[in-house]
Amino acid sequence: MVLFGLLLLPILLLLLYFIVRPRPINIPIKNRHVFITGGSMGIGLAIAKQAASEGARISLLARSVDQLQKAKESICQAYEVEVSIFSADVRDYDAVERAINEAGSIDVLVVNHGVYYLEEFETQGLDVMKTMIDVNLMGSFNVIKAALPLMKDRKDKEPASIALMSSMAGQVGTYGFAAYSATKFGLRGLAEALQQEVLENNIHLSLISPPVTETLGFEQARKTMPEITKIISSTSTEMKAEEVGKITIQGIKSGSFIIPCKLDGRALAIATAGLSPQRCFIMASLEVVFVGLFRFVALFLQWNWYGIIKKKKGNSRKNQ
């Protein structure tokens, strides 16, 4: 059986080499225009600094003018690059369109903005849910809709990128993440479909899936996080924004569709690959070979999570 598998592996690799789509690509960053939403702090600012360190021209969009100015100063002090800032709310399409038109043709669009409220579905207000949908999902539609014509008409015909900041919560739903996960799962559907529409324009989609990251947004979300969510989330270690920023730029440059940020994130990417695009035939082979194993691991995780939930719910009823 093992010998048969070893004989089959080269055939599998050869087949996958010819059928993976889209084809492998390298997306340059140096001397190109990188436009980042939610770029005034946290992961967005970390991405901007990483792109600046590689010689990109940077544009940042966020709501707070003061935070944008601080972000610009911190980048300019560290790197000799051009930095432009634009104040707009991503929920306002007209404001976003004006900012993007002023910024000019974009080579790499990083749709990084987002809001993050964690609470049990039953107790979370509909207004809070709507805010997450409007910012995380509709805001992404607004940014891409405004930028796409300029990206298609860019004079530089080198490969371009649209990178969407998702989350591991956009790969698997967990307790307390119901509304937030819904917005991040939506980004995956957007990315998969849009990739097919813009490939002929040499525009390539990426979906970044970081775990819990040490940012101001997460610290605020922790205030309403259910105890069960804290226990489940503790099984995955937090990352620093700078780590996510570096991995994001590396993933964009390689044209990766899914950009996981840790080893468990890579395993989750394989387990949830489904019909997502895959450029790398080696990664495609790992998905084919290990999907069954990682599905087994996923079932074990679900068993563990449901055990935690049952135990905590049982204790809560006893204490009432």
CA distance 91 to 61: 12
User: Nearest-CA neighbor of 233 among 186, 315, 172?
Assistant: 172
Residues 6+ apart with CB under 8 A from 136: 113, 114, 115, 180, 183, 184, 186, 187
246 catalytically annotated: no
pLDDT of residue 219: 80
Catalytic site residue from 72, 79, 180, 209: 180
Residues 29 and 51: beta-carbon distance below 8 Å:
yes
Q: Which residues pair with 109 in a beta bridge?
A: 35, 162
For the chain, domain boundaries: 25-319
Q: Can you count the helices (H) and strands (E) in the chain?
A: 12, 9
CATH of 25-319, one of 3.40.50.1370, 3.40.50.720, 3.40.50.300, 3.30.450.20: 3.40.50.720
Catalytic site residue from 40, 59, 105, 166: 166
311 catalytically annotated: no
CA distance 213 to 237: 9
List pLDDT tens digits, range 8-62. Answer: 778 888 888 889 899 999 999 999 999 999 999 999 999 999 999 999 999 999 9
CA distance 153 to 49: 27
In the Cβ-directed half-sphere of 146, how many Cα atoms lie within 13 Å?
26
180 catalytically annotated: yes
For helices 139-152 and 93-103, what crossing angle results, to 10°?
A: 30
Cis before residue 277, ω within 30 degrees of 0? no
List pLDDT tens digits, range 253-294. Answer: 999 999 999 888 999 999 999 999 999 989 999 999 899 999
Catalytic site residue from 72, 161, 181, 184: 184
